[in-house]
Structure 1
């Protein structure tokens, strides 16, 4: 991708470039998926500018040959070129504005990180790749804010929800996940963090590598903890006492592959999970069902298929009412209880 961008910029900015090459170059600025790579190339060009020579780089000079080429061809295709010329002027103005923005970002605020936010809506799982190559799966109803702009700044994200990380190794720049209760610091590894603010509990499960649960001033733990593969640390808000146990990481990361693995999971906890996964609301008509526990594995089932299985497993009844699902104790269970 980087070489492709370089070639397009080179072709579009040569003296003899045709209109098609100019259009292809300017079209780069309307493609969000290559934003990071494009900005990197622009910053590299601006790095060569000497601040002592002028108050600002002569950005218009970069596009001067665009107007020269268009004017040469204007006589041959006057009507057509007039319309194109206006479009090119507008596009070039946007490009110059973007260049100025990149210049200001790279020169004035280079030391301050720039953050973007990603959101995974209810009923879906999102995947994103950070500029450093780190892969993130974002679970339903989750938000993550991440820094992108400078190799001099630490790699850090702020999580509200659940995410699975495969972090690219960089010992000089550790990767930090900020959560409401503690921070998770790594240099390169695979791990899962569940940190929904509404639950007031943060759980970190390590799949590969090593992570450090850090005790900074905003943390609710009083010392650092190092996790090894297969270990999980959970902390509830206000408790100050982390719970560390050995687990099977696959049970806690299966969601990213559209799987559900339930191991003695309370129905109360399962309902919250299903509300996020399917984007529905549950209404409990009989609180006694919340004491039921589930052991099962699902993959790709619809909500109705899953509810039919649960109905047989744990003796519940359910009814779909609009966008909600009402749950009660099954009639069979009621009769047996009499």
Structure 2
């Protein structure tokens, strides 16, 4: 007598709204490329001051290739001072390259060109006799780097609308503001509006400080958040732009939004019953982790992926001239591109 096969349990249906654009931006891509190219040209070790970008997968991948991450320049052994040291995409205070020169270190600056633009905007305000108001988060590497472009006391940090309410400048009629590139557009709008109410002569930077990639990723999340039972943002806890995406998803209508670094961080015991998942990635999160998360959901659900395209990004930031003669292998390019 034939025994009928056990009935197969059907997987529940799940629609994944996948944002595009997502993941690596041109500044992150350039910074990672600089480290990989330096390793190819000069050999290991290549030192990197602080995380090149805020992502452990990327950092560990570069360590496996021969990169050595340090917090300060004095950690670089004297016998390795001719090996390159790379400054991260977030930018550094002027004191850091000055220190590198004093130590006779060979350095490569991987600061994102959009962050460099904010540095120039801040210096322009000061050159025109204005005290600089920086809207950003205390302790973030980009904020530290921007404040470090000007003398001590030349920049005041304002984080919130409440800070803008309390701020008491020495000369209210000579103020100029810049913003951290990775903040939420809505967050900066409220702070700027309150500062302008209090200080009508407040001068804006020559161009918008919020970077195109931050804006594009936030717009994509806004477009896809309403009606999502769960919204996942791939990114690191210390990634400002990734944390802002979580906030944007919650404000735009997602029932719940979470920041995760890998599929293993997803609280699987709480996802039963969801029917619509939003998915995006911060500007320093590689695509391989997005793929990993989609595959993890496919083992539990009958998945339909809907691609939500809200912008097309064509920006490319070239590396410095000294590295342009180095050729990357297909494997190198795959790593650089996430």
Higher relative contact order (CA 8 A, sep 6+): 2
Q: TM-score, normalised by structure 1?
A: 0.24
Q: TM-score, normalised by structure 2?
A: 0.24
- Higher percent of residues as strand: 1
